[in-house]
A and B are shown apart, each in its own frame.
Chain A
Amino acid sequence: DTAVSQTPKYLVTQMGNDKSIKCEQNLGHDTMYWYKQDSKKFLKIMFSYNNKELIINETVPNRFSPKSPDKAHLNLHINSLELGDSAVYFCASSQGGSGYTFGSGTRLTVV
């Protein structure tokens, strides 16, 4: 069983569209995250979320929003996609501050 799974693996879309990336973890972890990895492999935290608290990286545009239907899921919604949003997006989870586990990534290409 995949511990942290995200779909789709690849997403190609036009500028201005709205899209979502889904993430599910079966580890029973209490915290989930979204990271953005740019073309130079730099991993940047976007959101951290548990049942109690959403922490947003202040540099993330408000076109990006996390949605968590339950503690095992954290989906990423992106409105009005821009060329600069092209990147690989990783979902991750942890229990408290340890056991970080990443999904395999979603490569988003905006054309």
Chain B
Amino acid sequence: GESVGLHLPTLSVQEGDNSIINCAYSNSASDYFIWYKQESGKGPQFIIDIRSNMDKRQGQRVTVLLNKTVKHLSLQIAATQPGDSAVYFCAVSGGSYIPTFGRGTSLIVHP
């Protein structure tokens, strides 16, 4: 089966800094990777995804990097804002289409 882990349970940054949240996965057959943001009292919200045929994908202020060689992906948030404070999850799926979630990283943005 798949196991997914985030490297840090908590990440504290200053407003305006760039944030990097890392995630590792175990199954080399995984081919779809998703980052979610969960604010307090809400469900996880889709941020960005990437498939295994890519190694980088950019959105608005967010970039996901995928390194299949070491089975690692990261979420980069540029110019972090207080509204970015939340728990971030990576999710990984393969042929079953059922994503396995890592334990979240709590991002704390200090004004």
Contact assessment for A97 and B93 in the assembled complex, using a CB-CB cutoff below 8 Å:
yes
Most A-side CB within 10 Å, residue of B36, B43, B106: B43
Nearest neighbor of A95 in chain B, beta-carbon distance: B97
B: contact size bracket:
20 to 34
Given A41-B104, A42-B103: A105 touches B43 (CB 8 Å cut-off): yes
- Least CB distance from B110 to A in Å reads 21
Contact assessment for A45 and B97 in the assembled complex, using a CB-CB cutoff below 8 Å:
no
Instruction: Count contacts on A: residues with CB < 8 A to the other chain.
Output: 24
Contact assessment for A33 and B98 in the assembled complex, using a CB-CB cutoff below 8 Å:
yes
- Least CB distance from A92 to B in Å reads 8
For the complex, what is the distance from the CA of A31 to the CA of B44, rounded to whole Å? 17
- Least CB distance from A63 to B in Å reads 21
Nearest neighbor of B45 in chain A, beta-carbon distance: A102
Binding site for A on B (CB under 8 A): 32, 34, 36, 38, 41-46, 49, 87, 89, 91, 93, 96-101, 103-104, 106
